[in-house]
Each structure stands twice: as structure tokens, then as C-alpha cells.
Amino acid sequence: MNQHIYTLCIFEYISSPKILIFYSPSNHINLNDFKSIFTNQNFNIKPGTIFSFEFNGLGYNMIVDLQNIIYCVITKIDYPKRLVSECIKELEIQFNSKQNLNSNSKQYFKELQMNSQFTTICKKIYDKYNNPETIDKLVQITNKVNNI
């Protein structure tokens, strides 16, 4: 199977990223490299708007919520934007549903980093969106046409 998604990440951002979740099963993206990309950058992202940029041949796609939590998906550059949007929103919904179960956010983040349950959720999201042919009819049709 081709790799379409490389990393799912959730982080707080002030002047540098504070990583809450970093899921990169292919190890294609190194955590320190990821942090260096975002350190001292002036991102002016409106909450709820998807922001994307290319770096080293990959697509960095993210959305920020009202609590300054950034949900990031790193993909192949040609990965369909409509699927990026769905993936990011699913990551945000899953994260927020788990966060709402715990009223103490700082404790929640510590627990979340150690929590294999959220890693399992990230794996499910990753597996689902890493194989766009199974979830997107347009990708299925394009692949059939390309194979003719």
C-alpha cells in the first residue's frame, strides 16, 4: 500500500509547539524536525480555517480551535484536500470528545500522552485516511481511469 499520510499531530502553539499527541508510525517525520519547523514561526491561522503549506515535499495541513490547539496532518502533496479536511475534523472531534471527559486539562494532557487508547484512535484515523481508495469514490474512479 502506498503511503499517503505520514503523521497526525495535536499541539498547543504559542512561540513553539507543545506537542500533545504525535502519531507517526512510518517514522518518516522526526519529532525534533517537526518542532524545528514550527518554532518561532508566526502563524496567523483563523480558528476553524484549514491552513496548508508545503515543506520538504510534504503537505502540512492544520486547523486551530478556539483554545489554540492545532490539529495537524502531514500528507503527500497531492493528497485530496477534501479528505485532509475530513481527517483533521475527525481528529479534532475525537480529541475533544476525550478531553471533555476530564475537567482538569493539564492532567488530561499528561494522561493523554501516556494513553494507549488515544494512540489506538489515532491509528484508526491514520489507517482510514491513509487508504483514500476505500473512503472516496472520486479517488476510486481516478485510479480506475489511470489504470486503463
Question: Which SS3 state, helix, strand or coil, does residue 49 take?
Answer: coil
- The 10s digit of each residue's pLDDT in 15-48 is 677 888 888 887 778 788 788 777 656 667 788 8
HSE-up (13 A, CA, CB side) for residue 8: 27
Going by C-alpha positions, the residue among 91, 86, 75 that lies closest to residue 124 is 91
Distance between CA atoms of residues 7 and 126, nearest Å: 8
User: Counting every residue, how long is the chain?
Assistant: 148
pTM, entire model: 0.80
CA of residue 76 relative to chain centroid, distance: 12
- The 10s digit of each residue's pLDDT in 61-108 is 999 888 888 899 999 999 999 999 999 999 998 887 766 544 455 555
85-122 burial, b at 16+ Cβ within 10 Å, e below that, comes to: ebbbebbbebbeebbeeeeeeeebbeebeeeeebeebb
Looking at per-residue pLDDT, the higher value among 128 and 106 belongs to 128
Retrieve residue 62's grid coordinates: 492544520
Distance between CA atoms of residues 109 and 19, nearest Å: 10
Retrieve residue 60's grid coordinates: 502540512
